[in-house]
Structure 1
Amino acid sequence: MMTGFRLNLSPLKEPLGFIKLVEWLTAIFAFGTCAGFSGRNIISLFCGDGRNDTLTANFHYPFRLSLIPLIEGNTSLCNHTVSTTHLMGDASSAVEFFVGVGVVCFLYCMAALLVYLGYMHVYKDSDFGPILDFMVTAILVFLWLVCSSAWAKGLQNVKDATNADGIDATVAICKGSNITCAVTEFANLRTLNLSVVFGYLNMLVWAGNAWFVYKETRWHSQKFTSQSGPGRQQVPAPI
């Protein structure tokens, strides 16, 4: 059996190769829309004496909010001296897990496309290749479900920590009867919302791809043979 590299672009015209190319692109969109994100919320403090103060909540990937200072130490706000105050929460584990799964899928798609386009003759002539491909694909379907759900919850925590209620709970003077805190300018979280959408989209695409990879395994061929075998009718021998 020849095992050398043979460039053949025809697999890209078939579901097995075409979906892998789609997975490569959707993985880029998934981790690219959240990694490197940086946003800012402007908080206005309306003091009881008619004077206003302003706070800036800067947050960014990987969203370790508890390490991001909202107020520097001994700052005077509405005639009150406020000590160092940080945002609440930490969504780093969820978003880093999400980005990690995306990067792994990105690299695996590149490796799989290399096999499909250059070593498809070896891939189809062996049992190991399709079975390994199917098992990895099934695992990645599960990982996309888990990491997308975790990041969706983490993103909601980021939103809760940076909105008006979160700021009220974080800044002590916002709880005063004569001081009102309000978020007057919100960061654009559209790309973060898209990252969650792309996460679940990746899960669906990989789940669909699992069927086409399964068809390449011996499990599918054996099942097809066993189902078609009993249906055959014996032709009587000529007299």
Structure 2
Amino acid sequence: MRLTGIPLFLLVATAAVGTMAATVRGWRRLPVRIAGLLAVEILAVAAIGLWVNRSQRFYPTWESLTGASQVAAVTETAAGRLDPRLAGATAVAWKPAEAAAWHLARPPLLLAPPDYAEQPDRTFPLLVVLGDDPGTRPAGVLTVVLAPTRATTAASLGTLRAAVARDARSADALAVVAGPRWHALAAAWPGHPAVATGIDQAVRGLPAPLAAPQRLPS
């Protein structure tokens, strides 16, 4: 029976009413009167307390009321297939199967942040650069450099996020950096992520790397 459930409140309230009725019936007997009044007061206070707790959620569970703690289980962050290569200081020539449909001028590059290998429990937001290699590894984000062509479509690039998640520890957050030439392509990207003209601007709009989520055992 849940601490904040209606059944428990009704049980205590019914017990209070029943005790009051029994006390009235035995009112002439002093021991019954004293014990009955005391029990009614306790049950009435308990019923009021349960109702207030149900409304305010001071103690949502029996464990929180008794102080018993639950140990949170950490969901392990899955390693990307290219994690060993991404730990290096250079860009990785990335060759996902999906790239054939992107119609790029050259293979995409995948760059990890400098502290990627030091945070194996983190997933990193994704920064997509349309155009030339910026030559930098922005902190806190995974960077993909794409060289689009006129045949590249935003719809085909919709598979990029899943491809990166398979090969690296990427989070859901995504931003696109594009100059005037590729701005229309970036603006039509599936899901309409944030589009910036500079890397610093795009990185500022992305969240920090995420630790593995925690869950309480059921």
User: Which structure shows the bigger proportion of residues in helix conformation?
Assistant: 1
TM-score (norm 1): 0.26
TM-score (norm 2): 0.28
